[in-house]
Amino acid sequence: MDDPLPTFGSNLRKARLARGLSQERLAHQCGLNMTHVARIERAEREPGIRTVSKLTRGLGIPASVLFDGIDGASS
């Protein structure tokens, strides 16, 4: 099985950029540290379910968007 973190990070980055948000702005909207968001996007950190929930609320998207392409998931 391929590592899902790079796909998740890429999906997060695409969703963030599609909304015109910087990592700093997204982190602020989600109540997260900007470094944490950056590390998730670079596949250096694995987000927990609470973090995923904060990210999806901050982006206004369903979680399926962030998991698109992981283990056959598609949005």
Tell me the HSE value of 26 on the side-chain side, using a 13 A CA sphere: 28
What type of residue sits at position 19? R
CA end-to-end distance (rounded Å), the chain: 20
**Helix/strand/coil for 19:** coil
Q: According to the model, what pLDDT value does residue 8 have?
A: 98
Q: According to the model, what pLDDT value does residue 49 have?
A: 97
Q: What's the pTM value of the predicted model, to 2 decimals?
A: 0.91
The verdict on domain 5-61 having CATH code 2.60.40.420 is: no
> What digits encode the pLDDT tens for the residues 5-54?
999 999 999 999 999 999 999 999 999 999 999 999 999 999 999 999 99
- Domain ranges in the chain are 5-61
